[in-house]
Each structure stands twice: as C-alpha cells, then as structure tokens.
Chains A and B, each alone.
Chain A
C-alpha cells in the first residue's frame, strides 16, 4: 500500500515534467512568429541604406561626367534613368523587388567663373523596395548635391554637400594648370596656393572644378 502510493507520486512527477516539456515546445512555436520576420526587415533596411547611397552616387557620377570626360551635355536625364534601372536590376538579384524612378528632371548647374566654383545637381527620386515577406518601404528622395571649391586668401577648400550636409573632401587633389604652385596640402581638403594662375581641383569621385586665383 505504501509502495503503491510511492509509485503514484513518482508517476505524478513524471507527468508534470512531460507537461512542462510540451508547454516549452508550445512557447517556442508561439514565439517564433514574432521574431522570424525581423531578420528579413533588417536586411531590407540595409538594402534601403545602400539604395539611397547608390542613387546619390549616381548623381555624383553624372556631375563628374559633366565636369570632365566625354561631355554628354543635356542627355544626363536619360543616363540617370538607365543607371537607376541598373540599380533596380542589382536589387532584384539580391532578392528584393525594387522600383526606382526619377520624379523630377535633374537640373545641372556649373559655375566655373565665380567664387566659389561649384557644380551642382538637383532632382527627386521615388524609391520603392519590397522584401519577399511583403514588407515595403516607399519614399521620395530629394537629391541636392553640390561640389564646391572656395578660396579664402591663398587657401582653397574643396567640399561636397549632400542635402545641406557639408563634408570636406580629404582625398582631393589640386594641380596647377598654368602659373602658380601648390605650397602645402593640409590633408583635409584644403590646399595652400602660391601665385596667380589656374588650378584643377579633382575630388575623390572625379569631379573637376577649374579654379582661377
């Protein structure tokens, strides 16, 4: 009798452990639906960052093409469209459905005569990117990129401004084209010049700004 009670007790413990085990599995199953899609959305945000950078870079490249190299003149809108399609293709190969369209014609302005010397492009692009799980990001991106070489006494500084945020272009080079010499490269996008002459300022992304001092 005593022994039977003992076995009953042991069986109770056994059943309890099984119940705990089964409920653990149920919790796992229940929780999975909350954290599974998050990995995908993380990827989507990374891709989104990359797409925004790439679109801005496409415009930077167009500024570079217009300031030097084979002058394409007024066809840059068509070129930008073709390059946006290539970006779409790339995003598709990464497994994301993408639609990137220019909503406003790109407006290119170059001002070589005045001080500061600048080359700029303004436009607007609609980006829609969807992941396989159906999460979509859609936004109109305003593009406003200005490359500037401005001089202060005999110091010239080369900057790039994207949507109002200005950075000093460290990797730039300045070469004298006629007269004048470079005294010092400060290594932060600024150069000390000596003597009157014309200089070619080249940014790391190949934008050429002719400066006369």
Chain B
C-alpha cells in the first residue's frame, strides 16, 4: 500500500514537472507579445515615399509618356531597358528600398475603359511565392493630343521573411 502510493506520487510529480517545463517554455516565447509591435513591415510607407519622389522630380511623368509611346506607336511590348528615363525610375526605386527587399513595377494606360499594361520595370524578377507583397499605386492624368489616364503600380516585398 505504501509502496503503491509512493509510485503514484512519483508519476504525478513527473507529469507536473513536464507540464511546468512545457508551459514555461511556451510563456518564454509568448513574452514577445508584451513588447510593442515590431516596425518591420513599413514597405507600404516606403513605397509611397518613393512614388512621391518620382512624381516630384517629374521622372515618372516623362517615363509614362515614353512607355506609352513605345507601346502604342512603336509597338514594343517592353520598353527598352537601357532607356535613360527608365533607368532613372529603376535606380530611384532600387536606392529607396532596403537591401533585402525586392521590387517590380507596372505602368498602365487607360484605353477605352480598360487598363492596358504598357510597360514593366524590373521585368526579369519573378514575384515571390512565400512573401507578402505590398502594392502602391499612383494615378495621374496626361496629355498627348487628347486627355489620357496613367497609373503606376509599385510592388514591394521582402526577399527574407521577417
């Protein structure tokens, strides 16, 4: 009888000890919830700043006009990568984002009620499959004989998951 009770106590002790260990480890990991949320995913804000920079320096507008000309008048699906304005757009975006972030951008023009994709910046890059992509869009009217509408879509993501 005495021996049986001692075995029972030992068993309970082991179970309790294990569960305490488990809960303590779980609590240790959950303590990060007490700290303020980490400010890692500020890509949205960053994308907006980059677009503002492009707009203020008039680069974006010139680029959209040239891309539109290339698409509709020359008939090239992708606007020449070595074009000076396109390189400026590329460099402005690339220098504005963190090293571990990737980007891709699309230029659209309104054509009879639907958006034509007239050009792609950073064409070679494929969109990430396991990462969150932030989309920033900028709309601007333009003129080439008639009133036209452009929109520029900037996609940003982290190459490394944070």
A-side interface residues toward B, CB under 8 Å? 3, 6-7, 10-11, 13-14, 17-18, 20-21, 24, 27-28, 35, 39, 42-43, 46, 49-50, 53-54, 57-58, 61, 64-65, 69-70, 79, 83, 86-87, 90, 94, 169-171, 204-206
Nearest Cβ on chain B to A3's Cβ, whole angstroms = 6
**Minimal Cβ-Cβ distance residue in B for A203:** B58
Question: Which B residues lie within 8 Å of A35 (CB)?
Answer: 37
Question: Which B residues lie within 8 Å of A50 (CB)?
Answer: 137-139
Q: Given A61-B142, A83-B147, does the pair A17, B34 have CB atoms closer than 8 Å? A: no
A49 to B140, CA, bound (A): 11
Nearest Cβ on chain B to A35's Cβ, whole angstroms = 7
A10 to B18, CA, bound (A): 11
Question: Which B residues lie within 8 Å of A206 (CB)?
Answer: 143-144
Question: Which A residues lie within 8 Å of B23 (CB)?
Answer: 14, 17-18, 21
Q: Are A11 and B27 in contact (CB under 8 A)?
A: no
**Minimal Cβ-Cβ distance residue in A for B13:** A7
A148 to B131, CA, bound (A): 48
Q: Are B139 and A90 in contact (CB under 8 A)?
A: yes
Question: Which B residues lie within 8 Å of A94 (CB)?
Answer: 137
Within 8 A of A (CB), among B1-45: 9, 12-13, 16-17, 19-20, 23-24, 26-27, 30-31, 33-34, 37, 44-45
User: Which secondary structure characterizes the binding site on chain A?
Assistant: helix
Nearest Cβ on chain B to A46's Cβ, whole angstroms = 5
A13 to B21, CA, bound (A): 11
- Most chain A CB within 10 A, of B9, B44, B149, B151, is at B149
Nearest Cβ on chain A to B110's Cβ, whole angstroms = 8
Nearest Cβ on chain B to A37's Cβ, whole angstroms = 14
A61 to B126, CA, bound (A): 36
User: Would you call B83 an interface residue if the criterion is a C-beta within 8 Å of the partner chain's C-beta atoms?
Assistant: no
A14 to B22, CA, bound (A): 10
Q: On chain B, which size bracket covers the interface?
A: 35 or more
User: Which secondary structure characterizes the binding site on chain B?
Assistant: helix
Nearest Cβ on chain B to A33's Cβ, whole angstroms = 14
Q: Given A7-B12, A10-B20, A14-B16, does the pair A54, B141 have CB atoms closer than 8 Å? A: yes
Q: Are A204 and B61 in contact (CB under 8 A)?
A: yes
User: Would you call B111 an interface residue if the criterion is a C-beta within 8 Å of the partner chain's C-beta atoms?
Assistant: no
Within 8 A of A (CB), among B120-162: 136-147, 149, 151
Question: Which B residues lie within 8 Å of A13 (CB)?
Answer: 20
Q: Are B62 and A204 in contact (CB under 8 A)?
A: yes
Q: Are A10 and B52 in contact (CB under 8 A)?
A: no
Question: Which A residues lie within 8 Å of B151 (CB)?
Answer: 90
A28 to B145, CA, bound (A): 56
Q: Are A24 and B30 in contact (CB under 8 A)?
A: yes
Selected from B16, B61, B141, the residue in CB contact (under 8 A) with A83 is: B141
A171 to B140, CA, bound (A): 18
Question: Which A residues lie within 8 Å of B146 (CB)?
Answer: 69
A53 to B61, CA, bound (A): 12
